[in-house]
């Protein structure tokens, strides 16, 4: 993994985890003022994460199948 954005996306996906995480927590932890490292936006563009609404939990950030596959490839790699 030579691309620094890929490494940061991997960190983001790992922080969300397999069960998801409160959307507001993820945005707070991953907001950035650096336009050259738009980690959240790039992960969305690649289709790795999505916003979900779980019963009683409110908005949640969850990994898509593409996001889980990216994590798996990174762990094997």
Coil, helix or strand at residue 52: strand
User: What's the mean pLDDT in 38-62?
Assistant: 88
- Predicted TM-score (pTM) of the model is 0.82
Give the rounded percent of residues in the chain with a pLDDT score beyond 90.
Answer: 44
Residue 52 and residue 10 in contact, taking contact as beta carbons nearer than 8 Å: no
Residues 6 or more apart in contact with residue 40 via CB below 8 angstroms: 12, 26, 27, 30, 31, 32, 49
For domain 4-76, give its CATH number from 1.20.1050.10, 3.90.180.10, 3.40.50.300, 1.10.10.10.
1.10.10.10
Tens of pLDDT along 58-74? 899 999 999 999 999 98
> Is the per-residue pLDDT at 37 higher than 70?
no
Q: Enumerate the β-bridge partners of residue 39.
A: none
Give the rounded percent of residues in the chain with a pLDDT score beyond 70.
Answer: 87
CA-to-CA separations, 35 to 42, 50, 76, in angstroms, rounded: 11, 21, 30
């Amino acid at each position: 993994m030579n691309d620094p954005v890929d490494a940061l996306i991997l960190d983001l996906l790992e922080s969300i985890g397999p069960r998801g995480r409160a959307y507001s927590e993820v945005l707070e932890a991953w907001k950035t003022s650096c336009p050259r490292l738009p980690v959240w936006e790039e992960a969305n563009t690649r289709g790795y994460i999505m916003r979900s609404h779980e019963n009683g939990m409110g908005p949640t950030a969850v990994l898509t199948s593409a996001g889980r596959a990216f994590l798996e490839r990174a762990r094997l790699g």
